[in-house]
Amino acid sequence: MAQLGWVYLDPHGGKHRIGLYHGDKTGHLLIHCNMRVIQVDFAVKESKSYSFFIEDELCELKIHNEQGSYSYEFTTNRKVDTPLNRLRKAEDRRNLKYVLWFAGGLAVIIGGVFWGLHRFDKWQEGKGFMENSLLSPEALKAQGQLAAQGKTAVAQLFFNTQGSEKKVFYTFTTADSVRTTGQFKLPKEGSFLLPTGFPLSDNDAFRVTYLPGNPKVHRVEFDAPSSATITRYLQLAQNIEQQNHPGDSPEKTACVVLNAAAKSDWPVLAHFIFQGKMPEENARNNRDTYLRMTRDPGFEALIKQECWDK
């Protein structure tokens, strides 16, 4: 029997739990909301849609049958004519007026930003690493142009050691199949932390923004890792969390790390990775930042709810 659930937050902040039971053999279907049965149907073995109201919101629960395999989808319908949707449309029209009023001012602001970037280019001349990015030498004087005209690709990074010198080479291919490379040096001793605070590993990949007419003008963006690199961060965070909490099952460890990433996005994984470091060793991610994260009442409640049976 299929058993699924969703949580719907209404416009006033109320929380509603929606669930269904769907028999594998009989096809009998039961839909409930806040522990109250709202619809029952029998022998549902084809794709079908059910509509019901939660407060003033029209909700839809759809069943899809693809060659005998069922999938389920819960959505709200904001297009059909309902009192709530009419109010939304009226508010959208008011918001559109506000947008038009400020469009002229916004154009002036954007012009000022590009002018500021042009001035900022000169001030940053001679610097490679800027916040969470690495600029190619050619990009140091063309940041405004890169921001306005840049296209994106994925840069793959590779370690290379020549004697006592350690370097990182990176390469990416543009939409026009132009292969571009770059490099930067690493400290001779110790591990290298990216500006984001994460350790750099061989074969990591990040988004790169380049100038279509001249790909040598580019910026490697370490705050935009590829999905494979984020997966490595997740695995590293799980391994270190397991090492520091050997009494927890691997399933619970994975649940804690994944829920933390789902709640606050991938940068929080650095707190798990460096939970054994003291603040003087790593001021950005350390034991204290890990404890603040895990002892947050909201986070504790989330883990208690999602990982209690792991």
Single-letter residue type at 143: Q
Q: The domain that contains 71 carries what CATH number?
A: 2.40.128.180
* Confidence (pLDDT) at 288: 95
Residue 121 lies in a domain: no
- pTM for this one? 0.56
The answer to whether residues 73 and 7 belong to one domain is yes
Q: What is the longest distance spanned by two Cα atoms in the chain?
A: 74
Radius of gyration in angstroms for the set of CA atoms belonging to the chain, rounded to a whole number: 26
The answer to whether residues 233 and 221 belong to one domain is no
* Confidence (pLDDT) at 122: 37
Is 79:85 a contact under the CB 8 Å cutoff? yes
Residue 164 lies in a domain: yes
* Those residues with Cβ within 8 angstroms of residue 288's Cβ, 6 or more apart along the chain or in another chain: 279
Total structural domains within the chain: 3
* Confidence (pLDDT) at 125: 35
| Integer Cα distance of 60 and 136 in angstroms | 51
The answer to whether residues 177 and 206 belong to one domain is yes
Among left, alpha and beta (phi > 0; psi -120 to 50; other), residue 302 is alpha
The answer to whether residues 35 and 74 belong to one domain is yes
The answer to whether residues 162 and 247 belong to one domain is no
Domain ranges, residue 62: 2-80
CB atoms within 10 A of CB 265: 10
* Confidence (pLDDT) at 90: 84
* Confidence (pLDDT) at 268: 93
Mean pLDDT for the chain overall:
86
Q: Which whole-number Å values give the CA distances from 165 to 137, 161, 169, 198, in the listed order? A: 20, 6, 13, 21
* Those residues with Cβ within 8 angstroms of residue 123's Cβ, 6 or more apart along the chain or in another chain: none
* Confidence (pLDDT) at 64: 93
pLDDT digits (tens, 9 = 90+) for 108-130: 777 665 554 444 333 333 345 66
Identify the segments of the chain with pLDDT beneath 70.
Answer: 104-106, 111-130, 190, 310
Residue 120 lies in a domain: no
pLDDT digits (tens, 9 = 90+) for 18-34: 999 998 888 898 899 99
Tokens of 234: 């997740």
